[in-house]
């Protein structure tokens, strides 16, 4: 079985997905799982991935789920441009997402929660997947997967509050004082010159993962936020 075997941060995952080639027919649904075992406590990163690979190979499967989402990051497992094997009839044109842990009695928490919500949001946005196409394994299986504590009501309420880690502004090729600032309703490839003090503010909100900077309004918000922060700092300093 071939696996991608890379561990990404959520920001890296977002960057990957932005330009990822999902193949001739894009996935049109997500299937959420939990590993049950390994639990969060017994997850051991690369060793766990190796163990899971051996487990699926032992079943004679040519593929497994696409992603394992854990405290230590987002592990790319089976390639996302091919169908995986994880959910029977839902294997076709879906992305299988395993959240590491046992969620029969508790909901996601910590970095696992942030990573899981972020991954789901990034994929829903990029692939235009509506809520009705976000499945749980138990929708087609007698298992409790992705855990009894995880309900769609809870998941979609949580997703509504998620701000995915900001994209690092892309520097324009013609100079360091421009960032790509697509204005949604006009020309998406317009490059708007931004002075260095505004770039500093953009870097501030980006580094602190406050919000995503993707248009002029976001840049203005970043500048306001940064000035406000500086004011507070100076009044305490």
User: Candidates 46-54, 109-117, 140-148, 207-215 — which segment interacts with Zn ion by CB under 5 A?
Assistant: 140-148
Residue 134 found at the interface with Zn ion (CB under 5 A): no
Output the smallest distance, CB 151 to Zn ion, in A: 15
The single residue among 14, 29, 33, 226 that binds Zn ion, judged by CB under 5 A, is 33
- Number of residues located near Zn ion, criterion CB under 5 A: 3
Q: Counting contacts by CB under 5 A, is residue 137 touching Zn ion?
A: yes
Least Å distance, CB 123 to Zn ion, is 17
Interaction of residue 3 with Zn ion, rule CB under 5 A? no
**Bridge pairing between strands 178-180 and 191-193:** antiparallel
Q: Are strands 134-136 and 29-34 parallel, antiparallel or unpaired?
A: parallel
* x/- letters, 153..192, toward Zn ion (CB under 5 A): ----------------------------------------
What is the rounded CA–CA span in Å between residue 73 and residue 10?
7
Cα distance between residue 8 and residue 62, in whole Å: 23
Say how far apart CA 62 and CA 145 lie, in whole Å.
22
Give yes or no for residue 226 binding Zn ion (CB under 5 A).
Answer: no
Say which DSSP state 66 is in: S
**Is position 145 an interface residue for Zn ion (rule: CB under 5 A)?**
yes
31-39, 127-135, 164-172, 204-212 -> range binding Zn ion (CB under 5 A): 31-39
Whole-number Å distance between alpha carbons of 172 and 163: 25
Q: What is the number of alpha carbons within 13 Å of residue 199 lying toward its C-beta?
A: 15
* Residue 194: exposure state from Cβ atoms within 10 A (0-12, 13-18, ≥19): buried
Interacting stretch for Zn ion, rule CB under 5 A, among 32-40, 75-83, 120-128, 221-229? 32-40
Q: Which of 106, 143, 109 has the alpha carbon at shortest distance from 31?
A: 143
Token pair for residue 148?
């009894």
Residue 137: CB minimum distance to Zn ion, A: 3
- Which residues of the shown chain bind Zn ion in the complex (CB under 5 A)? 33, 137, 145
């Amino acid at each position: 079985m071939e696996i991608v075997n890379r561990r990404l941060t959520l920001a890296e995952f977002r960057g990957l997905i932005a330009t990822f080639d999902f193949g001739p027919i894009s996935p049109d649904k997500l299937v959420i799982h939990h590993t049950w075992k390994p639990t969060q406590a017994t997850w051991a990163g690369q060793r766990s991935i190796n163990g899971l690979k051996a487990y699926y190979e032992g079943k004679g499967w040519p593929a497994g789920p696409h992603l394992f989402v854990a405290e230590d990051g987002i592990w790319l497992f089976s390639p996302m441009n091919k169908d995986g094997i994880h959910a029977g009839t839902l294997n076709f044109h879906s992305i299988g997402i395993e959240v590491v842990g046992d969620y029969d009695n508790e909901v996601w928490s910590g970095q696992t929660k942030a990573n899981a919500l972020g991954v789901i949001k990034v994929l829903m946005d990029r692939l235009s997947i509506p809520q009705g196409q976000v499945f749980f394994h138990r929708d087609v299986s007698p298992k409790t997967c992705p855990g009894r504590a995880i309900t769609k009501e809870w998941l979609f309420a949580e997703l509504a509050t998620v701000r995915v880690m900001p994209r690092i502004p892309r520097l324009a090729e013609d100079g360091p004082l421009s960032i790509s600032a697509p204005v949604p309703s006009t020309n998406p490839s317009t490059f708007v010159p931004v002075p260095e003090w505004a770039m500093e503010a953009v870097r501030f909100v980006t580094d602190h993962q406050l919000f995503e900077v993707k248009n002029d309004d976001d840049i203005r918000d970043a500048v306001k936020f940064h000035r406000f922060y500086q004011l507070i700092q100076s009044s305490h300093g």
